[in-house]
Amino acid sequence: MKKSFVIALFLISLIAYFPAKAQDKVIDEVIAVVGSHPILYSDVEAQYMQMRAQMQVADPFAVRCQIFEQMLYQKLLLYQAEVDSITVDDEQVNATLDQKLRYYIQQFGSQEKLEDFYDKTILEIKEEFREPIKEQLLSEQVQSKVTENIKITPTEVKRFFEKMPADSIPVIPMKYEIAQIVKEPDVSPEELNAAKAKITALRDRIVKGEKFNTLAVLYSEDPGSAAKGGELGLFGRGDMAPEFEAAAFGLKNKGDISEVIKTKFGYHIIQLIERRGEYINARHILIIPKVSPLDLVRAKNDLDSIAGLITKDSISFEKSALKFSDDPGKVNGGLLINPASNNSTFPADQLDPKVFFVVDKLKPGEISGAVPYTTEDGTSAYRILKLISRTQPHKANMQDDYNQIQEWALNEKKGKAVAKWIKDKSKTAYLRIDDPYKSCKFQYDWNQ
């Protein structure tokens, strides 16, 4: 099947999420122009170096040609945005810029490492990326219009599959479809009061002169920061729970300590370490209210009773999920959604190992007993799991894999739409491609 559209999306993602650092001692030159937008030799070379750092490159020239062609596509999108008078406002640019910078800081491990890599302050980096981010947003608006009305009919899906050579039909790996019913015991008022009293006492000790970081090491229940004296590292707005963020950014001076605040994770106190522009560094102590062992046992027993009723066909799993489950997915019968694909199927390597070891022993339609579960916010709970289906590895076929084949067919159709758009629009834009890139084997017709 054609993969040009998929490759295009991959390269866009690569360029958008991994900012390139200009290479030293590169003699720069303009190697192409689309409309009024130049492509520099250093642009291609920097992205090539980024790609080579992430994966093996078998054919360097072919990879450079792929990067170059994707840059041609981006510049053509940008040219068309100008023709169509498409704009983006500063608020949208700033929001995207902040999101990207948070991602980069996470990838590098700290803001300091990012600043060291670019030899610039975070504010200088932000200003340098502002125009590329604006251009990216403009390009994305045009790109979405190219394929937004592309639909696929069942007849087209069938025709697409019938045209696939028998020896080219992909193998579909084993996949699981799973549902769950979750019982999350409430934390008793006594436990809530005990946790709040504990962290209040810690705050009083700090106010009286004890060191925040020492008490964080000794008492904080945040495994990610306790060993570091509670230090969280630099973070911006939108990175933390709203209540935590409001309290942290409300601190004015280095060393200031917040009042006790409550988030879905538990009770916190925060100390400001420093501010750097729109980012702050802080340390915190977290005390998590505990679910009592007795309440956990009750939750397990309740789920075992529900499982017994389902097994006896006294109530369906779907109705039980809607009636008893504490999981938001109960409205869909407890069906688990794979975040990687946004559908309900999971290859084995995308399943939580704790889930895999339970459901792999079940037959389709069977349910497990109550098994321990930790929710996203760290709360102890129990759940029962149902294996809805398990497919064996097999060559794709229309009966079992229609949705997957439909996706392939739709991507091919979108790829053809992109190819036609490039062919048509490159006729209207000024286009100049210099050597040696004229010898590239392009996927699209650039009307040179």
Query: Could you tell me the mean pLDDT of each successive run of 10 residues in the chain, 448 residues long?
Result: 40 44 62 92 87 80 91 93 90 83 78 83 85 90 90 95 92 93 90 95 96 95 88 83 93 94 94 87 93 89 94 93 91 90 88 92 94 82 94 91 92 92 91 88 82
pLDDT, position 448: 59
Alpha-carbon dihedral angle through residues 317, 319, 323, 326, given to the nearest 10 degrees: 40
Structural domains of the chain, with CATH = 4-154+405-439 (1.10.4030.10), 172-186+292-395 (3.10.50.40), 189-287 (3.10.50.40)
For residues 84 and 82, give the distance between their C-alpha atoms in angstroms, rounded to a whole number.
5
Residue 20 burial (C-beta neighbours within 10 Å; 0-12, 13-18, 19+): middle
Give the DSSP H/E element, type plus range, for residue 282. Answer: strand 279-287
Using CA atoms, how far apart are residues 24 and 149, in angstroms rounded to an integer? 44
Q: In whole angstroms, what is the distance from residue 249 CA to residue 234 CA? A: 12
Give Cα separations from 130 to 76, 92, 124, 292 (angstroms).
20, 11, 10, 51
pLDDT at 14: 40
Structural Rg of the chain based on CA atoms: 27
Q: Are 341 and 228 in contact (CB under 8 A)?
A: no
DSSP letter string over 129-182? HHHHHHHHHHHHHHHHHHHTT----HHHHHHHHHHS-GGGPPEEPPEEEEEEEE
Nearest one of 215, 192, 339, 335 to 267, comparing CA atoms: 192
Cβ atoms < 10 Å from Cβ of 410:
18
Contact 27, 442 (CB under 8 A): no
| Structural element, H or E, at residue 308 | helix 293-311
In 354-436, at which residue ranges do the beta strands (DSSP E only) sit? 371-374, 380-391, 394-395, 431-433
Please tell me the distance from the alpha carbon of residue 412 to that of residue 301, in angstroms, as a whole number. Answer: 51
Write the CA distances from 429 to 32, 43, 380, integer angstroms. 12, 21, 60
Q: Say how far apart CA 198 and CA 190 lie, in whole Å.
A: 12
What is the reported pLDDT for 257? 96
For residue 20, the model assigns a pLDDT of 53
What's the confidence (pLDDT) of residue 93? Answer: 86
171-172 and 37-40 as β-strands: parallel, antiparallel, unpaired? unpaired
Neighbours of 337 (CB within 10 A): 13
* Cα 321 to Cα 308: distance, rounded to the nearest angstrom: 14
pLDDT of residue 383: 95
pLDDT at 16: 43
- Say if CB 8 and CB 418 are below 8 A apart: yes
The pTM for the full model equals: 0.60
For residue 21, the model assigns a pLDDT of 55
The total of other beta-carbon atoms located within 10 Å of residue 263's CB is 16
The number of helix segments (H) and strand segments (E) in the chain equals 14, 13
What is the signed CA dihedral for 347, 353, 356, 357, rounded to 10 degrees?
A: 150
Q: Residue 2's closest CA among 434, 435, 417, 415?
A: 415
